[in-house]
Structure 1
Amino acid sequence: MTSNRTSATRPPATPGTGHGRISTETVRTIVETKNTRRSFWKQLALIGPAFVAGAWQFGPGNLTTAMNAGALYGYALIWVIIVSTVLMIFLTDMSVRLGIRTPVSLISSIKQTLGGWVGVVAGIGVFLITLCFSVGNAVGSGVGLAMLIPGTSPVMWTVICTVAVGAILLFKGIYGIVEKILIVIVALMAFCFIVSAFAANPDWAAAGAGLIPVVPDGAWLLIIGLVGTNFSINAAFYTSYGTKARKRTEDEYRDITVVDTVPGIIAPGIMTALVIVVAAAVLNATGTDAPGAFGGLAAIFEPIAGPVGAWIFALGFFGAAFSSMIPNCIAGGTMLSDAVGRGASADTLTARLGTAFILGFGIVITMIFSGSSPVQLIIIAQALTVLFAPILAVLIIVMANNRTLMGPLRNKWWQNVLGVIGLLSVLALSVRLIISLVGG
């Protein structure tokens, strides 16, 4: 009894007080544990690279392929978005861990680990993919503004938008303002898709059935395009650069996964699925015979906004295209510069020349195929990205399994399984696309 009363009244033990002393190691553990418990606001501060990758995905190619999927095949291709999103999460997660662990940029690490020529191939592969995306961005920005201002030329607006992007990249001080305006525009469009998904009164049972994998006749090119935009391996690859630029640490990894990687990739996946649902309810269910024209696709917002819906669609489509042009050309130029040993920075001369080439390529292709259907041009450009994606997927998986480099963040067996499934998926689609191009 006496002993218990003494213990109850004894003041808290502190280091160096004799009986009941807490060891220095224990105190350090307590302090470190306390320090690693981040508040909600500190966790939000970790949001960044994955959301950038997700925003990059949700561009004109994504919207065009998803709306055509719903208009032409109803709810049947929703499963493609679900599978692509799951696989994208795991590839992006690998890239985040590589960004944390690699002492230099990912391409430089590939050169040191697998050989210089492998790093060059990786950088050129990303560069070629950004060239494909540049076509969709160029066409989308021009068409969006032409819809806003009837009677004007989409090609003219493509040139103006490209010059504007070049000016923004030269005068970086205004980029933040422009980016915020574009985010608001795209957010408005996203909100309209969410509201339309319910206002259009879709067949939710049929939408649920769309989770079961089926391949309708003639849908392969569209499926490849959907995978190319939603399982964007080049965006996943570039996430390692954003992670390293923000100096993320190993003890932040779990929080990064919760607040950035998973929601950053799931958000555009959900939005894309809703785009298919709305297009299926508004265009496919009503028999609208204009899936190949943006004028027909613009009718997607009529259930909630009437005639104003076409204006909202055009404004949002332009915002998605224009905002995607900037990170696409920056990423392509940066990784080309890194690949040829000129530095992993967008400010190097090589990176700037690569960025300019990407922007110019978008204009040239838009002009050459100005008489073609812009919708088909975007879909084909998105589909072509899967030709180079398998190379990047292999490199991400191989590097994420390097025991010396990755340490405790090395891939687990189940992460490898899902990574290989993603690799085999894009590889099979690449073969399918090549067969279609050769045969057609």
Structure 2
Amino acid sequence: MIKKLSSYFGPGTFVAAAFIGPGTITICSIAGVRFGTDLLWALVLSIVATIILQNMSARIGLVTQMDLGTAMREIVSQPLLKALLMVLVVVAIVFGNAAYEAGNISGAVMGFSVIYADTQLSFGDFTLDYLPLVIGASCYFILNLNSYKKIEKLLIVLVVLMSLSFLATALITKPDLLSLVKGITLFKMPSDSLTTVLAIVGTTIVPYNLFLHSSVVQEKWKGVSGLKFAKLDSAIAIGLGGLVSIAVVVAASEIPREELRSILDMAETLEPLYGVYAKYLLGFGFFAAGITSTLTAALAAAYVLKGCLGWKIDNTHPKFKWTWRGILLLGVVFSSLGINPIELIQIAQVSNAILLPFIAILLLAIVSNRKLMGDYRNTQFQNTVGVLIILFCLFLSVKSFFMMF
């Protein structure tokens, strides 16, 4: 079954695996606990915007046979502007992903600790959590296979299992269907909800996914013959990821508490209400989210560096491999030593939020360029939708910047 699924789907799964990480699950949990289902509309809009932008990125990859970073180098002709743009992208995404990796591995550890709490070794006054080392080594082995097809199949399995875990958790809580419909269709903004809305959008529309998608789509299909498959793949995989986020909000909305510090709080609250299965489902889902995001964040950083620096190399080249290895190593170190990655992740979120509108503008410019895209360039309607998304991203960028500083 997996073999059959992977023949039609794959690249979109990388995107879903990347944005459904511990950060997204935590934000959606907080949204559900604090505001119930009132903010589901923001999540649905974010998913739609993500599908549209990722489809544009995939189209660039298949039509031009270039990744997004390389296409940006082609369309920006002014040398100084090109250099500044590439530096901004590399700093924001490559170093940002190093920060996210710590959160991803810590999230996988947290999900595992819901099921088995004792993951630390003591050496006198020094305490070491060994699970990040195990997770890091496992991810290293998977990525070091240098096989797109094997990683793709693994991600399909993990994303499907993760989705079933969170959907089952949501169904166990027996949500009110009317409140779900209202949450999706009524644009409510409860008091003090703006920060959460921005966080929901910021953890769903992720800049590095645009670079990742334009690259991995070329591993799957060759040329424009794959466009129809890529479009369907994106809609289904990202839609499934969105369904996971909705399920987390729904499950959290049934929790009778006002604050949520971590996924452990959510698991502990669900167990007495809905049985031990809810706790284990939630723990496994969070663990899978951490693993999939760890794999894709490291890969995305390598693809970004490869495209932006103009490396004419394949994925087996030492430069490519040492990039993802470095990102993975930093995540393992920060997680193992108990260094709190929250501040690093906040800085990464700000840099990504500031970067997003610029990336979206260049993305729209590329897919509208007749020379690069030919007959596959954007239609006027697609450009209009793209401009609306860019305006939304600009609003997010400005708000995120001022709220952080």
TM-score by length of 1: 0.78
Pair 1:357–1:221, CA change in 2 (3 A): farther
Secondary structure at the residue paired with 1:136?
helix
Pair 1:280–1:189, CA change in 2 (3 A): same
Whether the aligned pair in 1 keeps the contact of 2:105 and 2:335 (CA below 8 Å) is yes
Within 5 Å, give how 1:50-65 maps onto structure 2: 50-65=12-27
Compute the displacement of 1:292 (Å): 0.8
Show CA shifts across 1:336-392 (max 9, x none): 13322333533333323321332233245446764x6x8x66984774332322222
Name the structure 2 match of 1:265: 238
Correspondence 1:83 to 2:45: yes
Correspondence 1:201 to 2:174: yes
Paired-residue identity, %:
24
Show CA shifts across 1:267-301 (max 9, x none): 111221122112112x1xxx235511322211475
Whether the aligned pair in 2 keeps the contact of 1:60 and 1:320 (CA below 8 Å) is yes
Whether the aligned pair in 2 keeps the contact of 1:224 and 1:383 (CA below 8 Å) is no
Separation in structure 2 between the aligned mates of residue 220 and residue 337 of structure 1, nearest angstrom: 36
Correspondence 1:414 to 2:381: yes
Name the structure 1 match of 2:211: 237
Secondary structure at the residue paired with 1:214?
coil
Correspondence 1:330 to 2:292: no
Name the structure 2 match of 1:345: 314
Whether the aligned pair in 1 keeps the contact of 2:10 and 2:156 (CA below 8 Å) is no
Give the alignment's Cα RMSD to 1 decimal: 3.1
Compute the displacement of 1:71 (Å): 1.1
Separation in structure 2 between the aligned mates of residue 247 and residue 185 of structure 1, nearest angstrom: 22
State which of 259, 264, 276 in structure 2 corresponds to 1:295: 264
Separation in structure 2 between the aligned mates of residue 79 and residue 104 of structure 1, nearest angstrom: 34
Secondary structure at the residue paired with 1:343?
coil
Correspondence 1:67 to 2:36: no
Compute the displacement of 1:219 (Å): 3.0
Pair 1:186–1:107, CA change in 2 (3 A): closer
Separation in structure 2 between the aligned mates of residue 271 and residue 138 of structure 1, nearest angstrom: 19
Secondary structure at the residue paired with 1:341?
coil
Compute the displacement of 1:124 (Å): 4.3
Report the structure number with the largest CA radius of gyration: 1
Correspondence 1:394 to 2:361: yes
Compute the displacement of 1:196 (Å): 3.7
State which of 317, 325, 330 in structure 2 corresponds to 1:361: 330
Separation in structure 1 between the aligned mates of residue 159 and residue 64 of structure 2, nearest angstrom: 34
Correspondence 1:131 to 2:105: no
Aligned length: 389
Name the structure 1 match of 2:69: 107
Whether the aligned pair in 2 keeps the contact of 1:288 and 1:296 (CA below 8 Å) is no
Correspondence 1:278 to 2:240: no
Name the structure 1 match of 2:133: 159
Whether the aligned pair in 2 keeps the contact of 1:123 and 1:338 (CA below 8 Å) is no
Separation in structure 1 between the aligned mates of residue 90 and residue 274 of structure 2, nearest angstrom: 44
Show structure 1 runs of 5+ residues with no match. Answer: 1-40
* AA partner of residue 107 (structure 2): G
Whether the aligned pair in 2 keeps the contact of 1:50 and 1:260 (CA below 8 Å) is yes
Name the structure 1 match of 2:201: 227
* AA partner of residue 112 (structure 1): E
Separation in structure 1 between the aligned mates of residue 269 and residue 159 of structure 2, nearest angstrom: 15
Separation in structure 1 between the aligned mates of residue 272 and residue 248 of structure 2, nearest angstrom: 14
Whether the aligned pair in 2 keeps the contact of 1:224 and 1:386 (CA below 8 Å) is no
Correspondence 1:218 to 2:192: yes
Whether the aligned pair in 1 keeps the contact of 2:62 and 2:226 (CA below 8 Å) is no
TM-score by length of 2: 0.84
Separation in structure 1 between the aligned mates of residue 193 and residue 391 of structure 2, nearest angstrom: 19
Show structure 2 runs of 5+ residues with no match. Answer: 121-127
Whether the aligned pair in 2 keeps the contact of 1:300 and 1:309 (CA below 8 Å) is no
Pair 1:350–1:244, CA change in 2 (3 A): same
Whether the aligned pair in 2 keeps the contact of 1:168 and 1:175 (CA below 8 Å) is no
State which of 86, 92, 95 in structure 1 corresponds to 2:57: 95
Separation in structure 1 between the aligned mates of residue 358 and residue 98 of structure 2, nearest angstrom: 16
Whether the aligned pair in 2 keeps the contact of 1:225 and 1:380 (CA below 8 Å) is no
Secondary structure at the residue paired with 2:9?
coil
Separation in structure 2 between the aligned mates of residue 63 and residue 75 of structure 1, nearest angstrom: 15
Separation in structure 2 between the aligned mates of residue 175 and residue 410 of structure 1, nearest angstrom: 29
Separation in structure 2 between the aligned mates of residue 344 and residue 230 of structure 1, nearest angstrom: 30
* AA partner of residue 399 (structure 2): R
Compute the displacement of 1:123 (Å): 4.4
Pair 1:349–1:256, CA change in 2 (3 A): closer
Separation in structure 2 between the aligned mates of residue 379 and residue 122 of structure 1, nearest angstrom: 16
Within 5 Å, give how 1:295-314 maps onto structure 2: 295-299=264-268, 302=271, 306-314=275-283
Separation in structure 2 between the aligned mates of residue 97 and residue 183 of structure 1, nearest angstrom: 22
Compute the displacement of 1:47 (Å): 1.8
Name the structure 2 match of 1:48: 10
Pair 1:189–1:303, CA change in 2 (3 A): farther
* AA partner of residue 312 (structure 2): G
Compute the displacement of 1:98 (Å): 0.5
Within 5 Å, give how 1:180-199 maps onto structure 2: 184=157, 186-199=159-172
State which of 316, 319, 331 in structure 1 corresponds to 2:288: 319
Query: Which has the higher mean CA deviation after the structures are superposed, 197-206 or 321-330?
Result: 197-206
